[in-house]
Structure 1
Amino acid sequence: MPSPATRSIRLHPRLKYTHGHLGIAASLELPFRFASGSLPIRSPTGMAAVWKWKPAVLLLLLVMTRPPAAEAGGANATAPCPLDLGYVATLPWDRAPCEPPVANGTACCMTLLSVLGVGLASRLRATGRFRLPSAGASAACLRAFSAALAAPPLSLPASLVPGCFPVQSQFAISPDYCAGVTTAAEYVAVAGNASVAGLNASCGADVASMSLCNRCLAAGIDASARLTAAAGNGSKSQNCFYLTVLYAAGISSSAGPDSPVTAACALGLALSTPSPTTSSPTSSSASHTNIAVAATIPIASLLLVSLVALLVWRNRREHTKGRSIQISEERRSRPRPNTGSVMFDICELSKATGGFAERNLIGRGGFGVVYRGVLADGTVVAVKKMLEPDVEGGDEEFTNEVEIISLLRHRNLVPLRGCCIADDDPDEGKQMFLVYDYMPKGSLDQYIFEDGQGRRRPALSWAQRRTILLDVARGLEYLHYGVKPGIYHRDIKATNILLDADMRARVADFGLARRSREGQSHLTTRVAGTHGYLSPEYALYGQLTEKSDVYSFGVLVLEVMSGRRALDLSDPSGVVLITDWAWTHAKAGRPGDVLAQALRKEPSTSVAAMERYVLVGILCAHVTVAFRPSMPEALRMLEGDMDVPDLPDRPQPFGQRIAFDEGETNFSASSILSGGGGPLVDFGDMLR
């Protein structure tokens, strides 16, 4: 089935950086600087197989936040570089993005980061240790890397490395990483023997073809999911996929990371020559082009974004306090002109919430804590205190976003009343708050999942679940198509679906929302959202379209219909993702097996409708973007006004143990990843 035509993409010269996945949140807009001027954003061209990317798409992976500990090694300025960089001149990597004149600095920096990733993976292979031992070693390696690039036969400009890597401690290791993993042995202990065995089996041999590379990357995502679960909801989880990529290239691969095939598949390095390992000249060229061109330089993406994170952190340390929006002398809340938002005073919010008392705490997530409050006029509100208030765009950037969001009015959206910015408390520092209408029935997750004490509110009936899902679909349809430009939520999940007094659903938490541009997809340097709900293309590459929200909505539908969480490590079958679990039942002709026990007690006349919801959820959460419906189409399917198409084939669920006829049991990785390049996902046409 051919992929639909893609849309061309033009990107703003500045990248949105949002720091927070189940951790602290701050929306930061930073220009990348290379020599003089901002870097435009462009990706490798072309995609193989079902990946039909338009030129000018930059695919960014999960962000690596750089911990303050990396600064500690700065004193060791004379440390030697532990990397053998001889491969830089001999590995057949595509040097075109970095050859003078450098038309696209970002593409060059990503290429160099991918090249350096080969050395980092090689060190892991030799020593069992991730990254570099100190900031001094990091600085030494950057100097050596610059010298290797400038020397013949490469003869690239000496300004490339300083321009791409201005923070010399960029590559220093810290224990504040994914689940505290710093060595290969720790990786195995945390990821689990079975998961690592699957990674070794899938990535250990030849990965020259698309299908073989697919298996390798699928196993990598499964291992990363287990690391993420072990890391919990802290910032350490952000680096899990990055460590998995290094492990696959440095440890699992029998050929080693300096093999062109391994570099292209596992490290995403675009190569300049075909792979010699394929059987014929034609197939070799095509296969290797798939790998080299489709590869989106994941290591480069990660390291480049980690540079941004570190720069942000350092700027925040040096940033002086006192940048607050002027509050009126009367210290009262006041409406903002020409908007529906109100600038609240910190004293008013403190009084409303009883001094932000624990008894008024009604929610806690990665981006903030939420309190119930009562304003002076008796209005009940929900006050969200943002956990990371520093915003690169300043207070004006924050209030501008509040203005945009507060103007949205729809019965299935939680209204935003206003905000508050304060930095006059020397103990608290700068604080930012969002003030929403209060939803008395709480969040949807309280009705479909048990809490930490095994408690759950009364089970929802089929009619209630149906109404809730339709409400959410209508809210998302409005965000995508009811406003111009459309808005992508980016964090659709059960805890962000609130219920009003009539048990009608409202989509909440627009602190993550991002406006789109006509005919564009949104590329973000910081993936914001929740594991299990994130679409693969967004989780791995920062590729954001309305179909990213559609994927999250599909996961939500499956959760509501099954009562199972998006990620479930307790399933005896070994299937982690709810999407894979539901897919298995549906393709076996048993969509009814997905239904929660409470729904199986509903009248038989409702079974067909409930199964239709399951199928719509699976379709919305399809790994191939082109197969996902738009929100209006999904809504029509749920309402029964549009037939649900046959489920398109998708790769085998990864992370599942498969028993063969011979009784052999293998830890199988699915081919959810496409194109031979790596790491990349078999999403078809990302942009519809």
Structure 2
Amino acid sequence: MLRLIYFLLSISQLLIIPSASFAGHRGPRRNLLQNGSDSSRCPLNFEPLRGLAPNSQRPNLDTHSECQYILQGLRLVLADHLRLTNSFLPPLDSAESCWEIYESLVREYVPGFDIRRSCGFETPWIARGCMNITTRSEFEAQVPRSALDGVDTACNQSLLNNSPCASCTTSLAGIRASYLQGPSVGNVSDCTAYPFIYAAAFANQFGPADVGTTKCLFNLDFTSSHSNSKRKKIVISVVVVACVVILVLGFAVFWFLRRRKERLLKQKWKSMRTDTNMSSGLDSISASTTLIRFTFDEIKAATRNFARDHIIGRGGYGNVYKGVLPDDSEVALKRFKNCSAAGDASFTHEVEVIASVRHVNLVALRGYCTATTPLEGHQRIIVCDLMKNGSVHDHLFGLVERKLSWPIRQRIALGTARGLAYLHYGAQPSIIHRDIKASNILLDDKFEPKVADFGLAKFTPEGMTHLSTRVAGTMGYVAPEYALYGQLTERSDVYSFGVVLLEILSGKKALIAVNDGQPTLVTDWAWSLVRKGRALDVVEEDMPELGPPEVVEKYVWVAVLCSHPQLYVRPTMDQVVKMLDTDMPIPSVPERPISLIANLDDIERSVSSSGSANLSTPAGYQTYTFEHDHVEVEKEDENQNGR
């Protein structure tokens, strides 16, 4: 009872005493906001949070959204605490006091809301954080200076506009992914929040309480009473003008609205019929799987209405967004752009391909969404598990400065090979991916690779040795026989895998520029070194934890074998897995024909070179041949000629 009386007295003091400014007069007000003994008194100052919206009326939110709102507000307060004390967290013995103060502030806007019970926060979480980092100096010791300078450059500006905000949040997400991968306690100030708290405290010159900072870094959008009053005046003026226009042009407007309504009804009816036909096709897929059909409202809630700062990838098909489902699981949502009824077949095809396969090295599909609305039009979205370490391309050629170690590169190569082997020989019917490249190999939190993006994949009819199809893919990764003749086989994927493996080993892109500026395939560059007996020179310099030379060299040989221009020379993906993972011998590699992009000097050198047909494999490796595969391809050629 005494505790209740004391709590009510504290609330009355909060209501009587005016809010102090963010920059000054902190002493008296702060003492009144703190309670308990001196040892347990809360050092956090909640006035910046209160001062942002003294007269605002917050909308009614569901419990999950309310908890996220409250959590981000607390992180703003922690950023202010860090700015003033160089400490991320309050003392552990003040945790109870800090929660009570915050709850009293929250109840002014949401009466009766119990933060810890409703949101599942535990009392010690407010005083515990990421990787036992508690001070600014400890954080800066964990993150390289170059990365912090990048944050300063990206975030030290007004973050009200979308472009600066996106640049800032992207740099902060990179710090989390690269340097803060240790354990967190709770989720109040976990490793995801630390870079944002630090940036608000020190990187941005306007400080945590700036409107742009709160909106961008903490997703808090406050509107002052002055702005509300000004907005009301604008609305009233617009209404008056609109009324005058309606009185003058009443009949014309009425006619226009009537015609517009009729047109929308026709479009809606046509869309409903299209969605009904499409749904029947997708329903037949999900009937035998665990796919979830999400509503469009659920998708918008998960992505905060497709917020720009939730974009984690872009492509010709559209954008990929990060989303959070009601069970707090994180997902990636691929939203197709420029959708129409005519394009529904390709969307249904990709859902069908991903839903038909299940493998540890293939991206798993959670569900999909199909909807048509008058404002957004046709919406086609697939939902997959979120890969927190991005793609192989991000780590090899993106903003991530820390080089991948040899054990991780070895794991990526072997896992990708296993995923492709499953597509070719484990799936029924077999699947040819057609677009294997570094950006389509995603990495989970343990750097386990997941082959993704099946938008171009093709099912192989049983008994068919190859398909003749329109060429699709990415320059530098497409096999020569496919690029020239449209002849598609599983070994077209093998060629693309060989290019990716060379990128993983060398750190060079599929198309590179040599000294004279001419474009060169990484496959030709690597082959020029291997045929001179310098296979290890293909490997990127200063690679961390480089493995035994004989193992590394074996991976180089497998890469040049897979990326050989002649189809019959390449192994199958099953053979690739065995060569990488066992002591299976590597075959001899025949001399390569002239590159498609070779210049005149290269051609003349090739003509004058020796006519050797094969290049011996490194010492210690035995060889085998592909006679059966060679005969099979000759039969294919005969079939082609017969046609």
TM superposition score normalised by structure 1: 0.46
Larger Rg, first or second structure (1 or 2):
2
Between the two structures, name the one with larger relative contact order (CA 8 Å, sep ≥ 6).
1
TM superposition score normalised by structure 2: 0.49
The structure with the greater share of residues assigned to helix is 2
